[in-house]
Amino acid sequence: MEFTLTEIIGYLASIVVLISFLMKDILKLRIVNFVGCGLFVAYGIMLHYSIPIILTNGVIMLIHIYYLSKMKKK
């Protein structure tokens, strides 16, 4: 069985997001989930611009940036 690069990115994104929910530390959770969302954005682009995937994960990334920046200030 062979996977396309698009499928590999999609599965990797799913795995990274799932792993993020195993994190006890909220900082680690946000960073790992941010990476997973970034992979999902790439996946959405590779699917010839799947707007629901790109938009949802892009907004989640912005939320993570907001909270990570607040955490850094403390």
Cα–Cα distance measured from residue 66 to residue 54, given in angstroms and rounded to the nearest whole number: 18
Instruction: Show me where the domains of the chain are located.
Output: 24-73
Identity of the amino acid at 26: I
- Overall average pLDDT of the 5-30 stretch: 98
Mean pLDDT calculated for residue range 49-54: 98
What is the arithmetic mean of pLDDT over 40-67?
A: 98
Instruction: Retrieve residue 19's tokens.
Output: 């792993």
Q: What is the average per-residue pLDDT within 1-9?
A: 97
pLDDT value at residue 69 = 97
Cβ atoms within 10 Å of 31's Cβ, excluding its own: 15
Query: Whole-angstrom Cα distance, residue 57 to residue 65?
Result: 12
What's residue 20's pLDDT?
98
Band (57; pLDDT cuts 50, 70, 90): very high
- Quote the pLDDT of residue 56: 98
Q: What is the pLDDT of residue 74?
A: 76
Q: What is the CA radius of gyration of the chain?
A: 13
Under DSSP, the state recorded for 61 is H
Nearest to 36 by CA among 56, 19, 59: 19
